[in-house]
Each structure stands twice: as C-alpha cells, then as structure tokens.
C-alpha cells in the first residue's frame, strides 16, 4: 500500500497537505493540541517557545485575510520567525518557477512553508522537493483542499457540540468550487459524524458528490430540517467559467440563509461560514450577526489550530 505523503515512516505528521487519508488519531491529536493552545491565546503573554529559532515562510499566491494573518499570529505565538513573501514584488513576476522560489527560500534556512496557491496540488509538489527537515502546510490549493480551515471548522463544531457521534451537518452553497467543503466533509466522515448533507443547485455540486459520503438536497428547506450545524459557503465567482446561476437575487431566494429558513434547523443549531461572506447572496446579515452565528469564533479558533499544526509537524 502506498504511504500517505503527509506522514513519515513512523506515521507522524510531516506535512499537512489534505485531511483526506489522515487517520482519526492524527485529527484528534491536532484538535486536542489546539485546545491546549486556546489557553495560551487567552493569556496576557500569548507566547510559548516551541518553535524558537525556526523560520516560517508564508507563501500566498492567492489573496487571503484570515488564513495568512492567523498563520502569522500562530507562528509568532510559537516564537518562530515569520517571513511573508510579497508575491507581487517577488521574482515570480520575472518568471521564476515555483520550485526555484522555494529552493532559494530553503537556502535561507526555512523550516516551514505555508502555501496557498490557485493550482490544485501545488503544496504536494513543493512537499516532494523540500529537504527532510522542512515542512509544508497547505493553506488552500485550487478547488482541492484547505485542511487547516477544515480542522478549525471541526474544532468549532467540537467546541459547541462536544462530540460528532449524533450530529447532522448541512453544508450549503457552492460545493463545486469549495476546497473548504471537501476538507470539512473528509474530516466529519473520519470523525464519525453520522449525517453530512450538502444543499445546492445541481450546477454547484461536483458530479458523484455522494461518493464523499454525503446526502444531497436541492431543496434548502428540506435539507435544513433538524440540522445541528449549518455551514454556509461563498459563491466563488472567480472560479466559475461562465454563468452557473440565473442571478444573485434568485440564488439568495433559494439558497440564502435567512432567519426564517434557519428556524427549520434545531433550536440550538450553530451557523458557520469560512469567510469571506457575501451578505445578501448566501447569508442574510441578521443570521451572520445573529445569536446562532459562530463565524467570528471560527477565526479565533483558527489561531490555536494553526499553532497546533505547526507545532506538531515541526516540534
Ligand atoms: N477562509 C479563508 O480561507 O479565508 P481567507 O481567504 O481570507 O484566508
């Protein structure tokens, strides 16, 4: 059997490239370690020395607010040195290849590369070429995977719902283009959530999505019934080739989360969104800012989860 490229010969996490294929024990290790770091992030002195002397290179070839910033905060809280490569001012603009850029940063004694790239597989390519002591963390590659977002989503669900064994989770919207949805579905099924639903028009679902272990709904009201967790996704217009929907207004009418539709879920349901949100397109402001929303806590938990991932791979 082929070894998971993220694990070393001892079965320990060497890189974090995808949630797919990661054993339940490793997911548990990351979530438990993150829980221990939540305490650190609430202290007056929010630092631990675990990565002192190590260098973390943030390589973001696509825009980001939450992921890039929380990786930087997480690395600093672990006492690492952080270098944010400004891609627009880098020699990528002169035609330098991705692997040459990484090789040059490696010559500057990098320890961790945090990589976001529009091409699916770019972090896997880098991981195949780095030195044995270097680690790659995928911060989102194309439509493929966003494992730290999936992990912070899992952390948030566990925080509010305690365990996964009786949960019904609905993931709603542009599943087709969503690396977040893929990573979260993989994590939820690995951790034993009994029912994961996807709710979307047919045009925004990957063909054969059922093979991921989800139940498909096209009617949002039917899909929301009795859900414990509602995860809204952004319409990723930048990844759509041509018009896939009649209009934003029509989409909001059928798939936008309003207080009236949310009332069909369980009374104590939580509402999540990875951000950035399109208010009035996939979610109404009254829900995004309402009592069920845990959208901003997701961001805060992201710091502890990214601390956990970096400390585990490089600790
Ligand atoms: N959720 C997420 O990946 O947000 P950013 O694109 O702002 O990093």
Per-residue pLDDT tens over the stretch 97-113: 999 999 999 999 999 99
Asked if pLDDT for residue 83 goes beyond 60, the answer is: yes
Asked if pLDDT for residue 1 goes beyond 60, the answer is: no
pLDDT per position as a tens digit, 160-189: 999 999 999 999 999 999 999 999 999 999
Rounded distance from Cα 278 to ligand 1 centre (Å): 13
pLDDT at 106: 98
Q: pLDDT category, 241, cuts 50, 70, 90?
A: low
pLDDT at 243: 64
Q: Whose CA is nearest to atom 1 of ligand 1?
A: 274
Q: Where are the domains of the chain?
A: 24-145+300-314, 147-295
Which atom of ligand 1 is least distant from the CA of 140?
3
pLDDT at 315: 84
In DSSP terms, 247 is beta-bridged to none
Residue count (the chain): 315
pLDDT at 248: 85
CATH number of 24-145+300-314: 3.40.50.1370
d(CA 274, CA 40): 23
d(CA 198, CA 175): 8
Residues 277 and 12 sit within 8 Å (Cβ to Cβ)? no
pLDDT per position as a tens digit, 210-228: 999 999 999 999 999 999 9
Residues 187 and 155 sit within 8 Å (Cβ to Cβ)? no
Q: pLDDT category, 3, cuts 50, 70, 90?
A: confident
Q: Whose CA is nearest to atom 3 of ligand 1?
A: 67
Structure pTM? 0.96
Per-residue burial over 268-296, b if 16 or more Cβ lie within 10 Å, else e, is: ebbbbbbbebbeebbbbeebbeeebbbbe
Same CATH topology for 24-145+300-314 and 147-295? yes
Q: pLDDT category, 262, cuts 50, 70, 90?
A: very high
Asked if pLDDT for residue 192 goes beyond 60, the answer is: yes
Asked if pLDDT for residue 153 goes beyond 70, the answer is: yes
Rounded distance from Cα 98 to ligand 1 centre (Å): 22
In DSSP terms, 13 is beta-bridged to 7
CATH 2.60.40.1250 for the 147-295 domain, yes or no: no
Question: Is the N-terminal amide bond of 276 cis, ω within 30° of 0?
Answer: yes
Q: Whose CA is nearest to atom 4 of ligand 1?
A: 66
pLDDT at 240: 67
Neighbours of 251 (CB within 10 A): 20
d(CA 221, CA 13): 40
What SS3 class is residue 302?
A: helix
Q: Which residues line ligand 1 (CB under 6 A)?
A: 64-67, 140, 149, 274-276
d(CA 136, CA 169): 30
User: Average pLDDT in the 189-217 region?
Assistant: 97
Asked if pLDDT for residue 276 goes beyond 70, the answer is: yes
């Amino acid at each position: 059997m082929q070894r998971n490229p993220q694990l070393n010969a001892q079965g320990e996490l060497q890189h974090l490239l995808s949630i797919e294929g990661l054993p339940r024990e490793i997911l548990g290790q990351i979530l438990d370690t993150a829980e221990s770091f939540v305490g650190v992030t609430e202290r007056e002195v929010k630092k631990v020395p675990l990565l002192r002397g190590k260098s973390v290179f943030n390589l973001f070839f696509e825009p980001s607010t939450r992921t890039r910033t929380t990786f930087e905060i997480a690395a600093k809280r672990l006492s690492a040195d952080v270098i944010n490569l400004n891609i627009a001012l880098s020699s990528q603009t002169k035609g330098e290849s991705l692997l040459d850029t990484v090789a040059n940063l490696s010559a500057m004694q990098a320890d961790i590369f945090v990589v976001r790239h529009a091409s699916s597989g770019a972090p896997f390519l880098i991981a195949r070429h780095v030195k044995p002591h270097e680690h790659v963390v995928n911060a989102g590659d194309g439509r493929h995977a966003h494992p730290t977002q999936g992990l912070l989503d899992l952390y948030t669900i566990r925080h509010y719902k305690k365990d996964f064994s009786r949960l019904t989770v609905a993931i709603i919207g542009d599943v087709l283009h969503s690396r977040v949805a893929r990573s979260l579905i993989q994590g939820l099924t690995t951790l034993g959530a009994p029912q994961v639903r996807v709710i979307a028009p047919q045009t925004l679902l990957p063909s054969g999505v059922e093979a991921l272990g989800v139940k498909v709904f096209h009617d949002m009201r039917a899909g929301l019934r009795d859900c414990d967790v509602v995860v809204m996704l952004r319409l990723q217009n930048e990844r759509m080739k041509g018009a896939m929907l009649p209009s934003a207004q029509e989409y909001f009418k059928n798939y936008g989360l309003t207080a009236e539709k949310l009332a069909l879920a369980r009374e104590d349901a939580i509402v999540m969104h990875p951000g950035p949100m399109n208010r009035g397109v996939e979610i109404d402001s009254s829900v995004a800012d309402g009592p069920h929303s845990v959208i901003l806590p997701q961001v805060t938990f992201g710091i502890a989860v990214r601390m956990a991932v970096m400390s585990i791979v490089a600790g």
